[in-house]
Amino acid sequence: MALDPDHLLNYCIPPVRQHYSRQDSAFYALSLGFGADPMDEAQLSFVDANRDVQALPCMAVVLGHPGFWLGNPDTGVDALRLVHAEQSVEWRSALPPEGEVIGRTRVTGLVDKGPGKGALLYSEKVLSDAVSGEVYAITRGTTFLRGDGGFGGDRQSLCQPHRVPERTPELVVDLPTRSEQALYYRLNGDDNPIHSSPATAAKGGFERPILHGLCTLGVAYHALLRGLADYRVERFAHLQARFCAPVFPGETLRTEMWNDGSFRTRVVERDLLVLDNGLVSLAQEESN
């Protein structure tokens, strides 16, 4: 059965109201691998909830998360054959280490790549304070629906990727992932079984459960924060990247960076590019 684009473009995704604690902020950082070096005071400031813990701004991608809504049968999507294709985060104000937020998610576009070529679904989440309405971040994602092309829609992609420089990167940071990292990360709210169940992963065409794309992006964010910002979270205003291939938990991620904020990430063990077309932009006060 062909996908119904009108139904999906107007699909109602209920707002998510979420309270989070300092412990939740610390757990999110731990799920990305922060704290792996217990002697690194800069990392400890994000994972020790007993001190003046900082919230990682990239936690905006999991707060107010609507869950695996594309897995609902009434979406008409082949949920076993979808993958995260692109992600961006635009930060509007500092995310406090604890509080109550509302995430409002909507579908913003749908592109038909053609029969047998899949489709692209674009979505946006506005994350705001539940009381004041202050917007903390706007996250935008693209999901590749591998089994849902050919419904006759527009074939022009809505987002153009950033081109990273062709010259040698100015900085390289290697960060390991843990074999159980996807099991930790899914507790942030993304419980797609492709990240935990070998049988589900096999049905999706993977030899074993894969790491969440947003976890891969979070590890790259850690590398950028270390390499370009000296762990000063206020330095970044916007981040974007395109997912190229899945990561298996336990692999090492090498993030290559340029001074203009361009970046890409590859798996060291397989010499495989997993994030490309990356760009992180400096906050206005830092770029003057």
Catalytic sites, residue numbers: 190, 195, 210, 213
CA–CA distance, 58 with 160 (Å, rounded to integer): 22
Instruction: Supply 275's token pair.
Output: 């994030």
Q: What angle do CA 261, 265, 267 make, to 5 degrees?
A: 165
Pairing of strands 252-257, 171-176: antiparallel
Q: Tell me which residue of 185, 237, 175, 233 sits closest to 209, measured CA to CA.
A: 185
CA–CA distance, 16 with 223 (Å, rounded to integer): 30
For the chain, the first-to-last Cα distance in angstroms comes to 54
Pairing of strands 135-145, 119-129: antiparallel
Exposure class string for 13-42: b at 16+ Cβ within 10 A, else e = beebebebebebbbbbbbbbbbbeeeeeee
